[in-house]
Chains A and B, each alone.
Chain A
């Protein structure tokens, strides 16, 4: 049996950098270093583990929708061990919202062919955590999301979802969309061999016309949401800092009492 896994990965501005918005209120991706969203490394890791733990012939494709630099995210995933990559890039994608992103991803996943889609739990920039559910809705396949444990056997995907009020065991037939959390297992570092091998792996480039999409369906124009303003949060005014010389606990209690917390 063979199994085709597509991992969706996002290229995001480094969270430890100075993230901000451009004049058109989209994320400024030029001024800040970008990288593969760390939470998508967990998705790549689980795809590779499913592949390694199986006797089946499994192909792992990584897919991104993003600007030219987003290739870096694909390279990282390829150097971890993915087999090939697809980059959907088009100037008209600038400013696409969650619904638009899920539309492009769904078209690309269908064109690539898939048995299983694996995503991260959320991107580290938009942090919506809705794209996997949207993808499942668009593709008309089960969503098996927010898994901290995942396995695939004989056309069935199983997993554990740690929710607010309960831990649930989930099960669905393939094809399906899965998303994994950062509890699913440490992501591997690319080896030197992996990095060298990645350079020779195929990266396909698709634009909107390859996916039968029109400019008006995506980008700022096709957005279902509008950002009216983005303001930097004023820095917090410097607080009081005391050194504990035996009275730190008492002083803190004094502060809490002055604020009516005690």
Chain B
């Protein structure tokens, strides 16, 4: 059976959920071979095996942390040359897309970004994309070379498929470009203890209607009652009420949770671009004409300062 390379997104050996989703998708088109790079790479093997990786290729070197993107491209290219895969799958993060693009160019292949589904086709994998702020669904293929496809988080349910992977060290020769862009400083993001925005099953967001950073406590309380991640509109972020890393939308994160709750958000096209594929959409907005109501499964026309605390209280009561 053909092998499919899966690029592993991990932090010091802790594999992020989108990679496990990729392993699930990879099994539809072949046998997953995972590539894990950097500090803790070898520690990923067990969880990758549980999710179906038949081989794990690892490599650690200081270059991965000290320089931007290119060392990882060099490594992935070495993996492609070692394995001759039928496709290469990469998580659709900002960095993942850059790595995938440069790899595709080097190996003479096409690239598809932001796939939301993947299936085997007669001439290779067929990717589904959700485009124009999720108003169209396209099916595309890579028609030249080894398909390089980046897949959005939450595109598949993670399935376990225990395998005992052969773990081996990848041999990587860094290119002249590898050291071109130095990382001269790094401040890790502090964990809030809440789920990752792009991976969360439930996202609770606040917009301009929240009217002040101190009021975001209301949004956070609702999120915590549901075990949800907190999102924000660009208006709320630009006003300095919530960090940019929590922005949902075209220039923020794109989320696709089971449940999205928009509070005090009008539903501008650029916001919709980042949440329209959520399975169930709920909104609280005092303006009955707000465009967000065109999207909702359930909407409450009302003041969020009344509705949201009441909702939180009711949830906490029910949970007892």
By a beta-carbon cutoff of 8 Å, the part of chain A in contact with chain B is 15-16, 19-21, 25, 39, 97-99, 102, 121-122, 124-125, 127-130, 133-134, 136-138, 140-146, 148, 158, 161-173, 176, 181-183, 223-233, 236, 239-244, 246, 248-253, 255-257, 259, 261-262
B104 within 8 A of A: yes
Contact assessment for B300 and A171 in the assembled complex, using a CB-CB cutoff below 8 Å: no
Most A CB contacts (10 A, CB to CB) among B132, B269, B307 go to: B132
Contact assessment for A102 and B135 in the assembled complex, using a CB-CB cutoff below 8 Å: no
Q: A170-B181, A249-B313, A252-B298 are in contact. Are A244 and B142 (CB under 8 A)?
A: no
Some 9 contacts from A to B, beta carbons below 8 A apart, are A122-B251, A164-B93, A239-B298, A240-B297, A240-B298, A241-B296, A241-B300, A242-B301, A249-B308
Contact assessment for A230 and B189 in the assembled complex, using a CB-CB cutoff below 8 Å: no
Note all chain B residues with C-beta closer than 8 A to A233: 130, 134-137
Contact pick for B189, options A19, A125, A165, CB 8 Å: A165
Bound-state Cα–Cα, A241 to B281, Å: 12
Contact assessment for B97 and A128 in the assembled complex, using a CB-CB cutoff below 8 Å: yes
Q: What's the least CB distance linking B318 to chain A, in Å? A: 5
Contact pick for A249, options B145, B280, B314, CB 8 Å: B314
Note all chain A residues with C-beta closer than 8 A to B141: 225-226, 228
Contact assessment for A130 and B294 in the assembled complex, using a CB-CB cutoff below 8 Å: no
Bound-state Cα–Cα, A239 to B278, Å: 14
Contact assessment for A15 and B299 in the assembled complex, using a CB-CB cutoff below 8 Å: no
Q: Mark B261-272, 1 if CB is under 8 A from A, else 0.
A: 000000001100
Stretch with Cβ within 8 A of A (4 or more), from B26-34, B105-113, B205-213: B105-113
Contact assessment for A130 and B135 in the assembled complex, using a CB-CB cutoff below 8 Å: no
Note all chain B residues with C-beta closer than 8 A to A229: 138-139
Bound-state Cα–Cα, A67 to B111, Å: 23
Q: A169-B183, A249-B306 are in contact. Are A182 and B112 (CB under 8 A)?
A: no
Q: What's the least CB distance linking B83 to chain A, in Å? A: 20
Q: What's the least CB distance linking B93 to chain A, in Å? A: 6
B226 within 8 A of A: yes
Contact assessment for A134 and B244 in the assembled complex, using a CB-CB cutoff below 8 Å: no
Contact assessment for B226 and A143 in the assembled complex, using a CB-CB cutoff below 8 Å: no
Contact assessment for A142 and B314 in the assembled complex, using a CB-CB cutoff below 8 Å: no
- Interface SS of A by simple majority: mixed
Contact assessment for A231 and B299 in the assembled complex, using a CB-CB cutoff below 8 Å: no
Q: A239-B298, A251-B300, A253-B314 are in contact. Are A261 and B105 (CB under 8 A)?
A: no
B302 within 8 A of A: yes
Note all chain B residues with C-beta closer than 8 A to A232: 135-136
B68 within 8 A of A: yes
B223 within 8 A of A: no
Contact assessment for B112 and A225 in the assembled complex, using a CB-CB cutoff below 8 Å: yes
Contact assessment for B137 and A231 in the assembled complex, using a CB-CB cutoff below 8 Å: yes
Contact assessment for A171 and B181 in the assembled complex, using a CB-CB cutoff below 8 Å: yes
Contact pick for A228, options B68, B126, B258, B319, CB 8 Å: B126
Note all chain A residues with C-beta closer than 8 A to B281: 236, 239
B3 within 8 A of A: no
Q: A226-B140, A261-B258 are in contact. Are A256 and B182 (CB under 8 A)?
A: no
Contact assessment for A225 and B135 in the assembled complex, using a CB-CB cutoff below 8 Å: no
Contact assessment for B300 and A252 in the assembled complex, using a CB-CB cutoff below 8 Å: yes
Note all chain B residues with C-beta closer than 8 A to A16: 269
The 5 A-B residue pairs whose C-beta atoms are closest, nearest first, are A249-B310, A244-B302, A224-B110, A142-B180, A169-B185
Note all chain A residues with C-beta closer than 8 A to B73: 137
Contact pick for B68, options A141, A170, A224, CB 8 Å: A170
B64 within 8 A of A: no
Contact assessment for B183 and A98 in the assembled complex, using a CB-CB cutoff below 8 Å: no
B133 within 8 A of A: yes
- Residues from 238 to 278 in B contacting A, C-beta threshold 8 Å: 244-245, 250-251, 258-259, 269-270, 273
Note all chain B residues with C-beta closer than 8 A to A257: 318
Contact assessment for A225 and B142 in the assembled complex, using a CB-CB cutoff below 8 Å: yes
Bound-state Cα–Cα, A166 to B68, Å: 13
Note all chain A residues with C-beta closer than 8 A to B94: 129, 146, 163-164
Note all chain B residues with C-beta closer than 8 A to A144: 68, 181
Contact pick for B250, options A124, A140, A167, A239, CB 8 Å: A124
Contact assessment for B138 and A230 in the assembled complex, using a CB-CB cutoff below 8 Å: yes
Contact pick for A129, options B97, B282, B313, CB 8 Å: B97
- Residues from 100 to 135 in B contacting A, C-beta threshold 8 Å: 100-102, 104-106, 109-114, 126, 130-135
Q: A98-B111, A143-B69, A172-B182 are in contact. Are A167 and B187 (CB under 8 A)?
A: yes
Contact assessment for B299 and A39 in the assembled complex, using a CB-CB cutoff below 8 Å: no
Q: What's the least CB distance linking B213 to chain A, in Å? A: 17
B193 within 8 A of A: no
Q: A97-B110, A134-B101, A170-B181 are in contact. Are A15 and B270 (CB under 8 A)?
A: yes
